[in-house]
Structure 1
Amino acid sequence: MTDRHIRSVEDVLTLLDGLFADALKWEEFYGDRERPVPFFAAKPDENLVSYLERGLLPPGRALDIGCGPGRNAVHLAAAGFSVDAVDLSDAALTWAKERAGDADIRFLCGDVFSMELGEYDLVYDSGCFHHLPPHRRVSYLSLLDRCLKPGGHFGLACFAAGEMGSEAPDAELYRKGRLEGGLGYTPESLRWIFSELTEVELRRMTEEQADSPLYGVPFLWTALFERP
C-alpha cells in the first residue's frame, strides 16, 4: 500500500492496524525478565496439559502462536510434537530458545499472518488472540483455514469478558483508537467466531497455586476445537 492508495484487502487491514495507538510494545515487555508476570514462569497451561493427558491431542506438528518465552512450546516438544513457535518479539524468542535447549522447536520471529507456513495437527494460542484488533480476526481465521489440517485441533486461552480486557463493541474500539489492554470474550462470541470448527471443550482455566508446575488463572477462557 502506498501512502495514498488501497487496492487489496491486506491494504485495508494494514491501514486499520495503524488506527490503534495503544499496541503493546512486546520487545520492551519481554526485555525485563524480572518483572513479576506469572506467565513468564516456565509452566505450561493447565488446559494444554489436560488435553495431552486425556489423549485429545496425538503428537504431530504444532504451531504455537505468540509463543512468548516458550513455556507451552517446550511442553509440546517434550510430549512428542514437532513445534513451530512464532512471536513478534526477539527478546521473547531469545528467552524461549534458552529454555528449549535442543528440543524439536523451530522459532520464528515476525507476523504469523504473513509467514509461509505448512499444515499442522495442532494450532495453539495462549494470549495472542485477545490482543488482536477486531479486523485481524479475518486474518486469524484465514490462518486457521490454511494451516490447520482436517481432523486437526485448535487450542485457545483468552481473556474472559467481565474479568479481563475490554467489553466494548468493535465499532467503539475504532472510535477510541484503543484496545484497552486486550479484548474480553464470552463463550458465545468464541463459538460464533470459530463456528466453522467443532467444539471439543470450552471452560474456564483452572486456577493453579503459585507452587504448582502448571499455569492457571481463572480470568481466561480455554477452548479446544477440531477441524472437521
Structure 2
Amino acid sequence: MDRNIRTVDDVLKLLDGLFAPEADRWTVEAGTWWDGFYTDRSKPVPFFVAKPDESLVSYLGRSLITPGRALDLGCGPGRNALHLASRGFQVDAVDLSPTAVDWAEERAREAGADIRFHRGDAFALTATELGGPYDLIYDSGCFHHLPPHRRISYLALLDRALAPGGHLALTCFASGEMGSELSDTDFYHQSGLHGGLAYTPESLRWIFSELTEVELRRMHDEPAESPYFGEPFLWTALFRRDAQDLAGGSRTES
C-alpha cells in the first residue's frame, strides 16, 4: 500500500506519471526520447539551424532587453544561447538531452563562446547550479511541451530565478496553427501531450498575468536565406517582472 502524497511536489510527480513515457517529453526520463530526436543532425528540422530567433534579434535591436545574466531554457543545439553570448550576456543554458547539449557545446567551442551548459531538468536545478537571478529567461519551445500541471513549476522557477526588472522571452505554438487544441483536462484523460500544447494570446496573458506584457505577436516568417530563425506558427512574447511583482510573495512548489 502506497501513501506517498504529502507535498505539492508529490502531487506534481504523481501527475507526471499519468503520461505515457513516449508522450512525456519534458522530464529527465524523457531525455532519451530527445536524444534520439537530436542524433541525426541532417534532419530538416527548422530549429536545427544555427540561427537565432528573429524575435530575440528584434528585442536586442530595439533595446527592449540589454546584456546581463541570461538563462536559456530548453536550449537544444544552442543557437539562441550562442547569440546571447555574442551580444555580451553571461549565459547559462539547460536541456534535458545530453545529445543536444553536446551539440551546443561543440558550437560554443567553435565560436569561442563562454556558456555554462547544464544537462537535466531546469525545475530540479538549485539556485547555486543555475547561478541566477537572471535578467533574461529565454524559452524558445520549452513551455509548450509541458503538461498543464507543470506550469506551476514553471511559474515557481520564474519567481525564484527572474530578477526584478528582468524579462521572460517566450516562443510557443500558436492556436490554430500548431499544437494540440485539447483542453487541459483532456490531456489527463488521454495521457499524452500530442506533440505539444497550442496557446492563444489570452491564455498566455492569463498564465503570465503577474508579469507586465511588453510585446506579444506572431513570429515573423523568415526565408531560408535569412540569418534568423522565424516560423509563423509560433507566438513570440516578451514579459517584464516589475519590482512590485515581488510584494505578493513567491511560490514554493518545484
* TM-score range normalised by the length of the shorter chain: over 0.9
Residue 5 in 1 paired to residue 19 in 2? no
Amino acid aligned to 2:13: T
Give the corresponding residue for 2:66.
58
Structure 2 counterpart of 1:75, from 83, 91, 104: 83
1:11-47 Cα offsets, whole Å, 9 max, x none, are: 1111111111112411111111111101100000000
Once the two structures are aligned, what percentage of the paired residues are identical?
Answer: 70
| TM-superposed deviation, 1:104 | 2.2
Q: TM-score if structure 2 supplies the norm length?
A: 0.88
1:161-195 Cα offsets, whole Å, 9 max, x none, are: 11111111101110010111000000000000000
Aligned pairs for 1:100-119 (under 5 A) are 100-101=108-109, 102-116=112-126, 117=130, 118-119=132-133
| TM-superposed deviation, 1:142 | 0.2
Give the corresponding residue for 2:24.
23
Question: Cα distance 1:162–1:10, how it changes in 2: closer, same or farther (>3 A)?
Answer: same
Give the corresponding residue for 1:173.
187
Range with bigger deviation, 95-104 or 209-218 = 95-104
In the alignment, the residues of structure 2 paired with residue 57 and residue 4 of structure 1 have an alpha-carbon distance, to the nearest angstrom, of 47
Amino acid aligned to 1:11: D
1:84-128 Cα offsets, whole Å, 9 max, x none, are: 000000000000011112312100000000101320000000000
Structure 1 counterpart of 2:198, from 160, 184, 190: 184
SS at match of 2:102: helix
In the alignment, the residues of structure 2 paired with residue 169 and residue 191 of structure 1 have an alpha-carbon distance, to the nearest angstrom, of 17
Give the corresponding residue for 1:122.
136
In the alignment, the residues of structure 2 paired with residue 3 and residue 205 of structure 1 have an alpha-carbon distance, to the nearest angstrom, of 47
Amino acid aligned to 1:211: E
Q: Contact 1:66–1:87 at 8 Å: present in 2 too?
A: yes
Give the corresponding residue for 2:236.
222
- The answer for unaligned runs of 5 or more in structure 1 is none
Amino acid aligned to 1:163: E
Amino acid aligned to 1:69: P
Question: Cα distance 1:3–1:113, how it changes in 2: closer, same or farther (>3 A)?
Answer: farther
Give the corresponding residue for 2:104.
96
Aligned pairs for 1:155-174 (under 5 A) are 155-174=169-188
- The answer for unaligned runs of 5 or more in structure 2 is 26-32, 243-254
In the alignment, the residues of structure 2 paired with residue 129 and residue 135 of structure 1 have an alpha-carbon distance, to the nearest angstrom, of 12
Q: Contact 1:81–1:104 at 8 Å: present in 2 too?
A: no
| TM-superposed deviation, 1:3 | 5.5
